[in-house]
Amino acid sequence: MAAPKNKATASTTDEFRGFTPYKEKKGEEYMNEKQVQHFRNILDAWKRVLMEEVDRTMHYMQDEAANFPDPNDRATQESDFTMELRARDRERRLIRKIEESLQKLDNDEYGYCDACGVEIGIRRLEARPTATLCIDCKTLDEIREKQMGG
C-alpha cells in the first residue's frame, strides 16, 4: 500500500512561501494596511493548503480502507492511518493558530508580542506567521522551559 504524498507535513510552510518578501520603506508605520494585507494573504494561503491536505487525507483513508486478511497488512495499514491522523491533528492545531492570527489582524493586534507588547517584526512574522512572541520573549520562554525539565 502506498502512503499518500504527505506534502503538508513535509513542507506545509513551503507551500505558502511563494510570496514575495515585504519590502519595508524607511519611516513606514508598522502593521500598516499593506503589511496587514501581506500577512493576511500569507495566512489565508497557508490555511488553504492545510485544508486541502485534510481533504486529501480523508479521501485517501476512505479509498484505501480495506479489510486485509493478513494481520501484517492490516497492522501496516493501521500504522499508516495512525501516522496520517497524527499529522492531521498537528495541522488542525496549526489551523486554529492561523485563525487566531487572522482574528488578531482583524482586531489590529497582530504583530505585537503577547508578553511585552513590542513589535515582533516583519521578517520574524514572515518566517513564522503565527508567532505571538518577540524573539527576546521567545528566547526567555525556551530557557525557562529547559530549566523546568526540558
Mean pLDDT of 39-50: 95
- How far apart are the C-alpha atoms of 121 and 135, rounded to whole Å? 9
- Residue 19 pLDDT: 82
DSSP state, 133?
S
Q: What is the pLDDT of residues 106-147, one digit of tens each?
A: 999 999 999 999 999 999 999 999 999 999 999 999 999 999
Do 69 and 43 belong to one domain? Answer: yes
The CATH number covering residue 63 comes to: 1.20.120.910
Quote the pTM value: 0.76
pLDDT in tens, 2-17: 444 444 444 444 445 6
* Count of Cβ atoms closer than 10 Å to residue 51 Cβ: 13
- In angstroms, the CA 129 to CA 106 distance is 15
Q: Provide the domain count of the chain.
A: 2
What single letter denotes the amino acid at residue 45? A
Domain that holds residue 138: 111-150
Residue 78 within any structural domain of the chain:
yes
Residues 138 and 83 in one domain: no
Same domain, yes or no, for 88 and 137? no
- The predicted-structure confidence for 60-108, as pLDDT tens digits, reads as follows 777 677 777 788 877 888 888 888 888 888 999 999 999 999 999 999 9
Same domain for 120 and 70: no
